[in-house]
Structure formats: structure tokens, C-alpha cells
Homo-oligomer: A and B are copies of this chain.
Amino acid sequence: MGVKILTIKEDILGANAENAKGNRELVDKHHILMLNVTSSPGAGKTSLIMQTIGRLKGKARMAVIEGDIASTIDADKVSKEGIPAIQINTEGACHLDANMIKKALDNLDLGQIDLIVIENVGNLICTAEFALGAHKQVMLLSVPEGDDKPLKYPLMFTQADVILINKTDVLPHFDFNMSAFSKTVSGLNPVAAIIPISAKTGEGLEPWFSWLEDALERRGTKA
């Protein structure tokens, strides 16, 4: 049975890669920067997005695509800030795929957007396997999850362009060894930026905003 699953998976991934390519072409045509944000459940993706909305207000036009198994909690939060938000409910699927993103893009006014942030389903595994067409992979790991996670979920850490270590405000209460973590990551992915942040208190967010503003600048603005 194992081999059978693998064959099916390859077909699905092949079709997904085609769709992801189409998404990339579409956002490129509109000079949009698109980010795929991944993490475990509750690591702080939405809090990071809320902080980023605050920072970019008046600087770049942002839209958010929210992926969840169920509920519209996150899209509601974003929408309250006056940001275009699309909620995708996967109804059981453990990740977003490129076809879902295509449908979301069809529902956004792409000519009026500089940055699209995709908040993927909370999961360190399946989300790493499905390309969405995003330009950059932004991964969050939160301090309470522990510094051994790169060894257990290597694909996600290998693919990340930037790794944000969130919830540094509670570092004193957990045994999280930042230098051990960095060493493990550098073995898997020597080029990813590692940025410790607290999306709750705002501490450490400057390097993240710099990274983002640099990426937006390279993309070219519409204004």
C-alpha cells in the first residue's frame, strides 16, 4: 500500500506544481510579492500578520489569504483592519494547495495590491510539500515548541527563506537553546535568516520589517 500512496502523491504534486507556476505568473504580472507563512497551530502566524498590517499601513497595500480546516476567526481579525481577506476552509485537508490559492487570487483586486500574505494551515508537515506560487517561505517556530523541531520536521526548515522564532517574551520560562537551534538549522539550511521575535510585545520585529521592506522594494512598487 505504501508504494501506491507514493504514486498518487506524485501525480497530485505534479498537478499542484503546474497550478503554482500559474499563480506565480499571475502575481508577477501585477508586481505583487506573495509570502507563504507556515507554522504549528498557535505559533503566532496571525499575530505576526496583525503586526505587519500595522507597520505597512500607508506604505504598501496588503491582502491576506487565510487557510484553516474550519472557522473564519483569523480572516475576521484581518478584515477588521480594513485589509482584503479571503478565508479558505479546507474541510479536513491539512494544507493549502495551489488550486485553492488560484481561486482566492480570482477574488482579489490584484491591480490594487502590493503584498499578499498567505497564512497556511497550522502544520509543520503537509504544508511543506505543496507549492503555492509564493515568492518566499516564511516559517514561524514558537519558543514553547522546543529547539529540537528542525530534527523532527526537516523539510519545513530546509525550505524556509526566513525563520521567525516567536514568543521570545516567554524564553525565561522554557528550555529553548537559541544557539543549539541555530546550529541545527544551519546544517539543514545555511542561508535562511533566523529572527527571534515576540509578535505579542513587538520586540525584535524590526529585522523582520526590514527583511520584508527589502523584499517589497526589490519587487518594485506600483505607485
Contact = CB atoms under 8 A, between A and B. Distances in A.
10 contacts: A40-B42, A40-B145, A41-B145, A69-B155, A71-B151, A73-B152, A122-B152, A142-B144, A170-B170, A170-B174
Interface string A125-150: 11001000000000000111110110
Nearest to A144: B144
A50 interface: no
Given A144-B144, A152-B73, A122 B124 contact: yes
A180 interface: no
Contacts of A5: 12
Interface string A170-181: 100110000000
A68 interface: yes
A92 interface: yes
Interface string A83-107: 0000000001010000100000000
A154 B94 contact: no
Contact of A1 (B1, B12, B151, B173): B12
Contacts of A99: 1-2
Contact of A125 (B42, B94, B145, B151): B94
A215 interface: no
* Residue of A94, A99, A149 contacting most chain B CB atoms (<10 Å): A94
- Chain A contact patch, size range: 35 or more
A153 interface: yes
B40 A122 contact: yes
A161 interface: no
Query: Which of A43, A125, A146, A170: most chain B Cβ within 10 A?
Result: A125
A10 to B, nearest CB: 12
Given A42-B149, A94-B123, A94-B125, 12 more contacts: A1-B99, A8-B8, A42-B144, A42-B145, A70-B153, A71-B151, A94-B94, A122-B152, A123-B123, A123-B125, A144-B167, A170-B174
Interface in A1-37: 1-2, 5, 8, 12, 15
